[in-house]
A and B are shown apart, each in its own frame.
Chain A
Amino acid sequence: MLNAIIQGILLGGLVVLFACGLSLLFGVMGVINLAHGDIAVAAAYVAVAIVPVLHIPAIWIFAIVVPLFMVAGYIVQRLLIQPSLNSGPLTTLLVTFGLSVIIENLLLEIFSANSHSLAIGSLASSAFKLSSQISIAYLSLLILVVSIVVVAGVQLGLYRTRTGRIIRAVADDREAAELIGADYRHIFGIAAGLAFGTVALAGLSLAMYSQVDPSSGPDYLIFGFEAVVIGGLGSLWGTFAGGIVLGIATTIGLFLSANFGALAPHIVFLLVLALRPQGFFPKKVAV
């Protein structure tokens, strides 16, 4: 049981990486990005495609793919999402849904439906023993640490830097932000760049941790979405807690029954939605 909880926390790190960008985009722009999971998968495929070409160790791929997706995030925001923002939330949902379908089918077309993973050598399988029953995989631990660093980094950036301050100001009141000279579309682009960067990180981690195939994006989207809702909309540390809760639910479910593992997190999500629909750490709304 203890082992299940520890493994759950480790798995939660991956969920957090998925959910972080989702939470950010919702918190800043009020946009629910239905293509979020597919963007992670796309990042994994980009890595799969360029590793054999560049002949570099897989770990270096982060330094290429993450910045690439940050730029892509800025561009997608300015060219696709921004024009839809003025037409209401439904339009934005449809646009990101369309993006999701396009990414999935492009990946199918280019890479076929076979699943892929990123080979990272011994790191993928090595672990250390905490006790006779509990062993911790280095990769899982690394992903958890990265997720903590990402959430803490984004949080610090939002609260300690000039750009972060403006991002929060824009989230509060777009028009008032324009009046102090901030082009909110540019700020939204930066937020989207951050979101795409973090989800690319999630996609790469996933491809190292297990396998990805072109149609797996929506599954991760659901996990990320559930983590955001459990934690409370718009709160990054809430999202972090939500991700860990989902991870633990999964491994405890697996511990109870092999079939229950896939279902347990969704049941936890439904319970939270029924009993505490605002989530555990909802963003305080100031009036």
Chain B
Amino acid sequence: MGRRPNMAEVVAAEPALSNQILEVEGLCAHHGQLLALDGVSFTVGEGSVFAVIGANGAGKSTLMRSIAGLHRPSEGRVIFDGTDITRLSTPQRVELGISLVPEGRRLFASLSVEENLLTGTYIRRSGHWTIERVYEMFPWMWQRKNQRSSLLSGGEQQTVAISRALLANPRLLLIDELSLGLAPIVVRSIYGSLSKIMEGGLTVLIVEQDVNQALSVAAKFQCMLEGRTTLSGKPAEFTPEEIEAAYFGLNSTSSIHGKD
């Protein structure tokens, strides 16, 4: 893209160490008149966790939906493993290996737990994940496989939603608002299973409001505010104050104290 004013792109332009599975270039997206994404760029290395943090309305979900193909960006490109996928439909992207766990889980309410999992195998991409592997990892799911998914707790629903996405055997897993509405202990347990989930070389892109949780697992992150990237890089490169300032859009890091 022609204009490169923000620091995100400066950081993103650092030499890549490994194969970049996802490249987002100058992505702009609108909700009606509202500009939800304003020239967002970043790259995600294969086999890593990348976190997108930011407050409500920062454009995180729009970014995820644009990568998954549910939202048409007005400008910019999405490149997956070297292929420009900006114009592909959502099902086409799933077939290439991009799965999104949507905000709010969105399980099929009238389907049982097992039926929900089985819908994940619709495209028949081969790979590590089978329904047996899922049951092996989460034995409670097998015990409750005939239950209606709407009877599960929020954390259980989130785990089923992640498993459903895994059964499509994606190379890139997008998780939108993983911890939204979940108890902290449940969130920790889901994050705990993340490393096991990634064993097969999976790349994970997480959108979170729970900054500490997200940054503890992410190799790289970016912070968004009002559709723009305000900070990006490795979590260790920044102090909590710097991250907080980027999160809330404060110019001076010295003006905030003791906030979580």
- Chain A residues with a Cβ under 8 A of chain B: 162, 165-166, 168-169, 171-173, 175-183, 283-284, 286-287
Q: Are A286 and B148 in contact (CB under 8 A)?
A: yes
Q: Are B91 and A183 in contact (CB under 8 A)?
A: yes
B106 CB contacts on chain A under 8 angstroms: 173, 175-176, 179
A178 CB contacts on chain B under 8 angstroms: 69-70, 89-91, 94
A179 with B102: in contact, given A168-B110, A168-B111 (CB under 8 Å)? yes
| Bitwise interface map of B from 202 to 219 toward A, beta carbon under 8 Å scored 1, else 0 | 000000000000000000
Smallest CB gap from B123: residue in A: A181
B120 contacts the other chain (CB 8 A): yes
A180 with B119: in contact, given A175-B70, A175-B102 (CB under 8 Å)? yes
Contact of B102 (CB < 8 Å), options: A165, A171, A176, A284: A176
**Chain B residues bordering chain A, tally (CB within 8 A):** 28
Q: Are B94 and A169 in contact (CB under 8 A)?
A: no
B residues 88-121 in Cβ contact with A at 8 Å: 89-91, 94-95, 99-100, 102, 106-111, 115, 118-120
A172 with B89: in contact, given A179-B68, A179-B99 (CB under 8 Å)? no
Smallest CB gap from A159: residue in B: B115
Q: Are A286 and B109 in contact (CB under 8 A)?
A: yes
A284 CB contacts on chain B under 8 angstroms: 110
What are 13 A-B pairs at a CB distance below 8 A?
A: A166-B122, A168-B110, A169-B119, A175-B102, A176-B108, A178-B70, A178-B91, A180-B120, A181-B95, A182-B91, A183-B89, A283-B110, A287-B150
User: What CA separation (Å) do A176 and B160 show in the bound complex?
Assistant: 13
A-B contact count (CB 8 A): 77
A161 CB, min distance to chain B CBs, angstroms: 11
Q: Are A181 and B148 in contact (CB under 8 A)?
A: no
B residues 121-160 in Cβ contact with A at 8 Å: 122-123, 148, 150
B109 CB contacts on chain A under 8 angstroms: 172-173, 286-287
Further contacts, 6 of them, CB under 8 A, given A179-B90, A286-B148: A169-B119, A173-B106, A176-B106, A177-B108, A180-B164, A180-B168
Q: Are B91 and A181 in contact (CB under 8 A)?
A: yes
B164 CB contacts on chain A under 8 angstroms: 180
User: What CA separation (Å) do A139 and B69 show in the bound complex?
Assistant: 52
Q: Are B110 and A172 in contact (CB under 8 A)?
A: yes
A181 with B165: in contact, given A165-B111, A172-B108 (CB under 8 Å)? no
Contact of B119 (CB < 8 Å), options: A175, A177, A183, A283: A177
A173 CB, min distance to chain B CBs, angstroms: 6
A232 CB, min distance to chain B CBs, angstroms: 14
A177 CB, min distance to chain B CBs, angstroms: 7
The 9 closest A-B pairs by CB, nearest first: A181-B94, A181-B123, A286-B109, A286-B150, A176-B106, A178-B90, A172-B108, A169-B108, A181-B91
User: What CA separation (Å) do A94 and B164 show in the bound complex?
Assistant: 38
B108 CB contacts on chain A under 8 angstroms: 168-169, 172-173, 176-177
User: What CA separation (Å) do A168 and B118 show in the bound complex?
Assistant: 12
B122 CB contacts on chain A under 8 angstroms: 162, 166, 180-182
For B68, B90, B123, which residue has the most chain A Cβ atoms within 10 angstroms? B90
User: What CA separation (Å) do A21 and B106 show in the bound complex?
Assistant: 28
B residues 59-90 in Cβ contact with A at 8 Å: 68-70, 89-90
User: What CA separation (Å) do A13 and B111 show in the bound complex?
Assistant: 29
B119 CB contacts on chain A under 8 angstroms: 165-166, 169, 177, 180, 182
